[in-house]
Amino acid sequence: MKTYPKIGIRPAIDGRQGGVRESLEEKTMNLAKAVAGLISSNLKNGDGSPVGCVIADTTIGRVGESAACAAKFEREGVGSTITVTSCWCYGSETMDMNPYYPKAVWGFNGTERPGAVYLAAVLAAHAQKGLPAFGIYGHDVQDLDDNSIPDDVAEKLLRFARGAQAAATMRGKSYLSIGSVSMGIAGSIVDPDFFQDYLGMRNEQVESIEILRRMEERIYDREEFAKAMEWTKKYCMPNEAADLNRPEKAKTRAEKDADWEFVVKMTLIIRDLMTGNHKLKELGFKEEAIGHNAIAAGFQGQRQWTDYKPNGDFSEALLCSSFDWNGVREAFVLATENDACNGIAMLFGHLLTNTSQIFSDVRTYWSPTAVKRVTGKELTGKAKNGIIHLINSGATTLDATGKQRKDGKPAMKPFWEISEKEVEECLAATRWCPANRDYFRGGGFSSHFLSEGGMPVTMSRINLVKGVGPVLQLAEGWTVELDPEIHKTLNERTDRTWPTTWFVPRLTDKPAFKDVYSVMNNWGANHGAISYGHIGQDLITLASILRIPVCMHNVEEDEIFRPAAWNALGMDKEGADYRACANFGPVYK
């Protein structure tokens, strides 16, 4: 089991002894216990363990108790806090003052004691002190002896907790660049100030040659390599597709067999670089056994590596999937072409959902008119207004085949919900194509499949804008299936060896979402991170915790949950978001 941050629950109370405080002790502590139970029974960490909660030893009525609570939270590894109360409290004395903790306050909506009055007062104190907090206030009045959590309150508590836990889990981790800038892609010009100031992360880097060194010096678990090759021969090599290269560029059978061994070793080594491997210590490689504490990574690949050696497509696809030769396990986040901006969007999606993430080129918008002209057929169903072709040679997780099932429908699930049968079906749906040697002179194998339609998904992306900093954009929508003849014609106009996902966004009256073309036309870069589920609200909440404004989204305004201080920056929500993020600035700067 890994070690994860916990969420601290702070039961705040009216500090006046002699009749007031005593009458509130049991009620206030029961609310804290109810919140802790709600979170731990509904939210899980990446390894499947429940999100842990720590409750203050006593209710918090004066500053000394606040200090004792803060000390306990430091000892217990708390990463965020939720303050709960059913009454008036001394705001500036009982508030959470840790500048790094995301924080929320639930003020019980009851008429007997003014919990709502405390909520308003302490939120004002948070804004005044530059420590923004999320305010949670139930829509309907509850009776004083009612310790249940109303549905609207529970929704906000869980939305905050998901975002806060994601932010706290990133803090102190690393992003590992394997190589450097790929083909002039701006997203792979890794900006350490963004990682340090906004995410609380450090940047690690190794040259790609470290992979070759570890291969040549056999710095990998040889027993695991044998196991991995046996698995690969059973599930991947039989699905090797026909070689589409020109005869003079096609590799021989012996060369392809050698490439299979190469890419399997490469997968082991990239994983070990990210997280370390205690088996290496047993082999005498103490330094290499440590790893880089990387919660996410990127592999440059093109072009220096791929002009020379087999590409990283197999490694990226397998590591980003929820399974390998060791069975089901938590998916890694490994960005193609070291596009760290897209890698971090993948990380956001992974931490919020515990599912694997799709990395894709946002390749082509196909209008209904263009489809009709090229194929002679019309788009129908959800695809009728046009489609976006998501395709990429690398880190498209095999989970994206859609062969997993939830309520009988295609899905991408946390690893602990995935059956062995579903793993085998994902593998069976994947063909491994000898790499296009016009692109990848060194060879290798690219995964090829077609995502099933009908999955709700959210595409997102972080972009860095000089003078503004990071901005987040997102588009909720669905995967769709096309008429097979339409798919074949459109798909074969690009690289036939890569995996395809057909995506349609949900259209709204917002300018960027008035039609499918506008979504494509407003997308800020060449890549997108695609997560299973409509998670736009959670991404927006997480972005506000990290002080990253959202420049484009199709989430309903009344579903957006940001810190209360954002309300003081104007009535237009998007403008207020930009002003608040600029005003309060990065959390870790």
Return the active site residues.
337, 361
* Cβ pair 45, 2 in contact under 8 A: yes
Residue with token string 């095999």 = 398
Residue with token string 């690690």 = 204
Instruction: Please name which of 253, 235, 233, 234 lies closest in space to residue 243, comparing C-alpha atoms.
Output: 253
The CA distance from 479 to 473, in Å, is: 18
- Per DSSP bridges, beta strands 387-391 and 500-505 are antiparallel
Question: What tokens does 506 get?
Answer: 């949900």
Question: What tokens does 248 get?
Answer: 């003079």
* Cβ pair 535, 158 in contact under 8 A: no
The CA distance from 58 to 66, in Å, is: 10
Instruction: Please name which of 365, 369, 428 lies closest in space to residue 238, comparing C-alpha atoms.
Output: 428
Give CA angle at 271 (266, 272), nearest 5°.
95
Give the DSSP H or E segment for 91.
helix 91-94
Instruction: Please name which of 314, 534, 321, 346 lies closest in space to residue 422, comparing C-alpha atoms.
Output: 321
Number of helical H runs and strand E runs in the chain: 18, 22
The CA distance from 432 to 315, in Å, is: 12
Rg (CA), the chain: 25
Q: What is the DSSP string of 415-469?
A: GGG--HHHHHHHHHT-EEEEP-TTT-TT--EEEE-BPPS--EEEEEEEEEETTTE
Instruction: Please name which of 179, 175, 165 lies closest in space to residue 202, comparing C-alpha atoms.
Output: 175
The CA distance from 496 to 436, in Å, is: 9
The CA distance from 310 to 256, in Å, is: 10
